[in-house]
């Protein structure tokens, strides 16, 4: 990308500026189109910023003005402030998450035998790996696929209904979403019919145990 910029700069071609703006806007459009707020989607915009950044440094070199540099740095800091706070939050929560994972692992292993299977609602396949328990459903990652695929939703609900899982884990935040009403109703039914009972809560996780 920098070589492309240098090539067009040498020719003083305005088309490079127009093309970079169009590329940036197009990238933003493609990021917005899915309608989902995932931070890692912003990775796609990094290449689109390369040429504007090179143009900015070229501008600094042309004006040789410290104020242009300061304004640019402040602008970049403004753009990155939310991401930086996220980074600090992740750093601060690392120890808490580790403790939660250890407690969760202890509770699961204490209430299961080696060959028992479990179900974790949500995209938490790491729990299967950390506890060394097999999943009672082949759909170990349900979100957001179950929202758009009724066949997958029906299969996952059937797996819950079969009671093949010794433990069922979920977070209230995910389960109580309006989109998950079918799964919530099934879990409420399992509790009402006394096929499962609420064992305990670990941080945000609710753990249900099958009544054998």
Q: Which of 81, 158, 164 lies closest to 116 in space, CA to CA?
A: 164
Instruction: Look at residue 13 in the predicted model and tell me its pLDDT.
Output: 60
Distance CA 42, CA 45 (A): 5
| Helix (H) or strand (E) segment spanning residue 79 | helix 66-110
Instruction: Look at residue 117 in the predicted model and tell me its pLDDT.
Output: 93
Q: Which residues of the chain have pLDDT under 70?
A: 1-13, 36-39, 59-66, 68-69, 76, 79-99, 173-176
Query: In degrees, to the nearest 5, what angle opens at C-alpha 119 toward C-alphas 100 and 37?
Result: 70
Structural domain spans, the chain = 2-64, 96-210
Integer angstrom CA distances of residue 39 from 82, 161, 175, 190, 198? 10, 35, 22, 36, 34
Instruction: Look at residue 116 in the predicted model and tell me its pLDDT.
Output: 93
Separation of CA 116 from chain center:
28
Q: What does residue 147 show for φ and ψ, rounded to 5 degrees?
A: -75, -25
Q: Give per-residue pLDDT as tens, 69-111.
A: 677 777 767 766 655 555 555 555 544 456 577 888 888 989 9
């Amino acid at each position: 990308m920098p070589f492309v910029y240098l090539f067009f700069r040498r020719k003083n071609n305005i088309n490079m500026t127009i093309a970079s703006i169009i590329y940036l806007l197009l990238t933003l459009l493609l990021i917005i189109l899915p309608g989902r707020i995932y931070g890692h989607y912003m990775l796609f915009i990094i290449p689109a910023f390369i040429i504007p950044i090179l143009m900015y440094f070229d501008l600094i070199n042309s004006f040789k003005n410290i104020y242009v540099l300061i304004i640019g740095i402040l602008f970049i800091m403004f753009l990155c402030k939310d991401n930086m706070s996220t980074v600090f939050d992740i750093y601060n929560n690392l120890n808490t998450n580790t403790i939660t994972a250890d407690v969760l692992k202890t509770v699961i292993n204490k209430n299961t035998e080696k060959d028992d299977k479990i179900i974790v609602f949500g995209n938490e396949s790491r729990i299967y790996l950390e506890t060394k328990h097999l999943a009672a459903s082949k759909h170990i990652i349900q979100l957001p696929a179950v929202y758009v695929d009724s066949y997958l939703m029906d299969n996952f609900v059937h797996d819950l209904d079969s009671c093949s899982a010794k433990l069922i884990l979920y977070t209230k935040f995910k389960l109580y979403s309006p989109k998950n009403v079918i799964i919530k109703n099934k879990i409420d039914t399992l509790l009402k019919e006394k096929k499962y009972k609420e064992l305990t809560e670990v941080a945000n996780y609710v753990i249900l145990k099958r009544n054998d």
